[in-house]
Amino acid sequence: VDPIEDFVVNRPVGHCEFYAGALAMMLRSVGIPARVVLGYRGGEFNVVGNFYEFQQLHAHSWVEVYLPPDKVPLDRLTDTPGLIPLAEANGAWLQLD
């Protein structure tokens, strides 16, 4: 049995890396460019030191899919106006979580 299929169908229990890996592989299997991203989500702001603190509990994995220029929903980029010309010319990576 394929390990990804076994995880998704028979044993869908685990941490975010399992789910992100499975989704990326499924997307790639149907020709959608996808990548797994590892980083930190959240964090706590330290008002005394005026900085964000990240701990292991904030570690997270998610998937990004590449959208070619003609598929980028430009209305979703209004928060970052400088990104619109780049997305129109180069495409963009869309986060899936």
pTM for the whole thing? 0.75
pLDDT of residue 23: 95
pLDDT of residue 84: 64
- For the chain (97 residues), the mean pLDDT of every run of 10, in chain order, is 88 91 95 93 89 88 89 69 67 85
pLDDT of residue 27: 95
SS3 letters across the chain: CCHHHHHHHHCCCCCHHHHHHHHHHHHHHCCCCEEEEEEECCCEEECCCCEEECCHHHEEEEEEEEECHHHCCHHHHCCCCCHHHHHHHHCEEEEEC
pLDDT of residue 41: 83
pLDDT of residue 31: 96
pLDDT of residue 55: 87
pLDDT of residue 50: 94
Phi, then psi, of 23 in degrees rounded to 5: -65, -45
